[in-house]
A and B are shown apart, each in its own frame.
Chain A
Amino acid sequence: MIENQFQLDNIRPVPLSKIISSVEEMTKNANYYVNNDIKEGLTNALETEESKTGINILNQLLENATIAGDKQVPICQDTGIAVFFVEIGQNVHIVNDCKGIDNIHDGTLEEAINEGVRRGYQNGYLRKSIVNDPFDRVNTGDNTPAVIHYDIVSGDKIHMHFAPKGFGSENMSRIYMIKPSDGIEGAKKVILETIDAAGPNACPPMVVGVGIGGSFEKAALLAKKSLLRPINQPSHIEYVRELEEELVRKANNLGIGPQGMGGRTTVLGINIITHPTHIAGLPVAINISCHATRHAEVII
């Protein structure tokens, strides 16, 4: 049998219980602690903000970060839809050590992640913000199901990113299928238009994730994925880095300011990921996020 020709000793078992507990921990950490890149962005903004109201707001946000971290309470009451990016090493074997535990029926990774969310959102006093159906809209009571994006990679680890997404900013996100002939100027135009239209609704100062290329859904996924990158880490592709810097300048020139009440700090950062795409297309997806852009990660 062909299977016998391959050694099984580099297969690494990962128990479901470890996934559940790691996810529970991440849901709390991401919601209580403002990441350093955001704190740095807000603090730097105090130096350049010209609006008195804007400065007042930035100070409130920094004070809020301190209170939330000290008291271990959510930075924002919208503790978000639970979004995960999970990289599973090819040599990982997921083992069900949770037989008989509530909510674990088939022993799947998905069940374990959702159970971690369930426990974290309950034990961590996080808000349950998910409804069962877009039209029926009955709260599921436990903030599940999570939205999970899987990648299979080489190796024997599971690397999980948790990025809870609030919907004030999410609702301002857009995707454009522009023409190849519209080019980079076309992309800049729709990115800035999206930020301008979002205005106060997205709780500026915003963090903007952009996916350019791929297919319709790939562009959107890349836009969300780009929000995982700290705002003080630019793209490693030179022209994309320059585009990010130019767009941050132009976005801040829109004058929207903190909470849309006018000022020089409309965005804290713009992250862009590009991808090969079809000869007839130029998809540009803009995922708006706010200053409560939250992210926790764990490697199992």
Chain B
Amino acid sequence: MNNYTESEVSASPRQIVIGSLAALGVAAVLLVTAVLPAEFNIDPLGTGKLLGITGMSEAQQVGALNLQPNAYHQDSYQIVLAPYESVEYKYRLEEGATLLFDWRASGDLVFDMHSEQDGVDPYEYSPSFDQGSDGGVRGSFTAPFSGVHGWFWENRSSRDVTLELTTAGFYSAATEYGQNYQNEKAFSEAK
């Protein structure tokens, strides 16, 4: 059997116009009635509400209770970084333990928030969660594995920058790593 060729399936100009307009129309109807409400929370005709698809792609608010076995600590440090000086603060967190943090600096600092897993060479594996250059970041962090977790900061400006770090959470140790030293930070009393 032969193939049917392009000339055998030809359509008239009228059909082409109708087909193209139908394609445009169907796509427009799909977009306005379903896609815009579901994806972008834009619902001009109220069809999204009618179908119950409005805001499907919005972030869902899910409450979660996360009980923690380790003691709670709350600390605050102030560090002055001279031009091109860098420092690291790392917190000891067991898998699943949470840390709340808020750091602010008097100028932009280059930073890298990362983790080192127990028993794994950090040169082989130390995942970064956030990197950049900023005057402050706050948030919460839940350790994906047991190890040390924290920040590297570097002052790439020509002036001193003061960094204020506030943390709260279920860590059991905090260590400061300077360019030539390592310093176990004293804790506030466990609360």
Whether chain B is bound by chain A comes out as no
A interface, CB within 8 angstroms of B: none
